[in-house]
């Protein structure tokens, strides 16, 4: 199983310290090559929302996925494994990580809800069973 690319996407709201959010994400990406981009949206009440994206490909993407999964708690790894098929769309694995916990505590954890760091992992070649086996192996190694 090969990881082709990994996309990290986060919304940074006006009320948040953008530098702290970026710094937390930079610590995850340390030592890896990536491309970053940002855009701006307007919220429902006219507030500014920054969309920050980091794209990682090839071996760097595999390394980052291993780093992310190994940083999860045992409970989060078990939750991931039990919900893995629900998180797969085609050959893409969709993860949602708790942004506030990462920024405040420097810890990664899964979170299904709002105000998250979205992670989309694209695998090559596409076979769901292989993806499931691969993620289990990486998460519990």
pTM of the model: 0.91
Q: Which two tokens stand for residue 47?
A: 């507030």
In which region does residue 110 sit, left (phi positive, over 0), alpha (psi from -120 to 50) or beta (all else)? beta
Ordered strands of the 2-13 beta sheet: 35-42, 48-57, 2-13, 116-124, 92-98, 88-89
Domains in the chain: ranges and CATH: 2-139 (3.30.1440.10)
Q: Decide if pLDDT at 126 tops 70.
A: no
Question: Cβ neighbours of residue 93 under 8 Å, at least 6 residues apart?
Answer: 84, 87, 120, 121, 123, 131, 135
* Stretch among 80-84, 109-113, 120-124, 125-129 having the lowest mean pLDDT: 125-129
Q: Work out the pLDDT band at 13, boundaries 50, 70, 90.
A: very high
Cα separation, 99 vs 28, in Å, equals 12
- Nearest-5° angle of CA 126, CA 129, CA 130? 60
Cα separations in angstroms, 92 against 6, 39, 42, 96, 133 = 9, 23, 28, 13, 14
**How much is the pLDDT for 131?**
85
pLDDT in the model for residue 16: 93
Residue carrying the six token digits 């920024």:
103
Torsion of CA 38, 44, 45, 51, to 10 degrees: -10
């Amino acid at each position: 199983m090969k990881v082709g690319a990994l996309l990290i996407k986060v919304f940074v709201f006006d009320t948040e310290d953008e530098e702290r959010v970026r710094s937390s994400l930079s610590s995850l990406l340390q030592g890896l090559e990536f491309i970053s981009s940002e855009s701006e949206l307007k919220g429902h009440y006219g507030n500014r929302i920054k969309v920050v994206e980091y794209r990682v490909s090839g071996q760097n993407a595999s390394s980052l996925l291993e780093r992310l999964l190994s940083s999860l708690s045992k409970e989060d790894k078990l939750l991931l494994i039990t919900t893995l098929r629900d998180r797969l769309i085609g050959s893409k694995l969709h993860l949602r990580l708790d942004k506030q916990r990462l920024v405040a505590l420097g810890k990664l954890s899964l979170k299904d809800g709002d105000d998250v760091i979205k992670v989309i992992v694209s695998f090559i070649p596409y076979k769901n069973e292989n993806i499931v086996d691969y993620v289990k192996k990486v998460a519990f190694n």
